[in-house]
């Protein structure tokens, strides 16, 4: 299809499609003349992916580029590492990670204190403290155990099957399942609150 059809078919404004092409987010079409190129289903899928990453996962275009680069890795763990390193919110290098590292090691985890995720964790815990509302250690432990259960299910699920599928799953899963968690946690809080409320009314 021609670029105008690609835009129409994907529901993306033509100017945006051209912008993604210039930025290298959308792979070039196959040239048919000096001024024309044709596009196919792979371009449609890529546009759909960009839209989901921007709309649902709230990624910046720079982060979308990281995801797209990771998707072309031919090693699952390398792709996962790329996604993990670059999709965590960027936190100042100077944040003190000793206590966050110690808390994770207490759970027996391998920890890389220089990883952006550890820095993000340390920064958020510190922010909660600075508001006078530190996360209680027992709650941290519940979070850590829950996160480990989820990670085990996620990572174990991807080591089987073919590499392209696995890379897709791990990269998209890293990005897309975080809002799933946020939504589920809020639904669960509503459920638990309502139960407590009913118990109070009954008692």
Site for a copy of itself in 82-101 (CB under 8 A): 84, 88-89
Contact (Cβ atoms closer than 8 angstroms) between residue 63 and residue 171: no
Residues in binding contact with a copy of itself, number by CB under 8 A: 80
CB of 34 to a copy of itself, least distance (A): 34
Residue from 89, 55, 82, 88 nearest 68 by CA:
82
Nearer to a copy of itself, 19 or 177 (CB): 177
CB-based burial, 188-201: b 16+ in 10 Å, e otherwise? eeeeeeeeeeeeee
Which residues are bridge partners to 197 per DSSP? none
Plot region of 83 (φ>0 → left; ψ -120 to 50 → alpha; else → beta): alpha
Which 10-69 positions form the footprint of a copy of itself (CB under 8 A)?
Answer: 45, 48-49, 52, 55-56, 58
Nearer to a copy of itself, 34 or 153 (CB): 153
Which residues are bridge partners to 38 per DSSP? 30
Nearer to a copy of itself, 5 or 191 (CB): 191
CB of 67 to a copy of itself, least distance (A): 11
CB of 7 to a copy of itself, least distance (A): 18
Q: Does 78 bind a copy of itself (CB under 8 A)?
A: no
Query: CA angle at residue 21 from 20 to 26, to 5 degrees?
Result: 75
Which 162-201 positions form the footprint of a copy of itself (CB under 8 A)?
Answer: 168-169, 172-174, 176-197
CA distance 35 to 19: 16
Which 129-168 positions form the footprint of a copy of itself (CB under 8 A)?
Answer: 130-133, 135-136, 138-140, 142-157, 159, 168
Nearer to a copy of itself, 31 or 196 (CB): 196
Nearer to a copy of itself, 33 or 132 (CB): 132
CA distance 180 to 115: 23
């Amino acid at each position: 299809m021609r670029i105008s059809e690609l835009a129409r078919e994907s529901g993306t404004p033509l100017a945006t499609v051209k912008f993604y092409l210039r930025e290298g987010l959308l792979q070039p079409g196959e040239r048919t003349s000096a001024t024309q190129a044709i596009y196919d289903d792979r371009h449609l899928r890529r546009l759909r992916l960009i839209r989901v990453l921007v709309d649902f996962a709230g990624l910046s275009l720079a982060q979308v580029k990281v995801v797209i680069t990771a998707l072309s890795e031919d090693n699952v763990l390398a792709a996962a590492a790329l996604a993990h390193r670059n999709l965590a919110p960027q936190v100042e290098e100077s944040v003190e990670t000793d206590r966050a590292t110690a808390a994770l090691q207490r759970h027996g985890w391998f920890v890389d204190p220089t990883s952006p995720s550890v820095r993000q964790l340390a920064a958020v815990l510190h922010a909660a403290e600075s508001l006078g509302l530190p996360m209680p250690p027992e709650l941290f432990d519940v979070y850590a155990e829950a996160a480990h259960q989820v990670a085990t299910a996620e990572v174990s699920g991807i080591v089987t099957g073919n590499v392209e599928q696995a890379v897709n799953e791990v990269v998209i899963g890293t990005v897309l399942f975080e809002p799933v968690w946020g939504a589920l946690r809020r639904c669960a809080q509503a459920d638990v609150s309502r139960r407590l409320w009913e118990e109070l009314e009954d008692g």
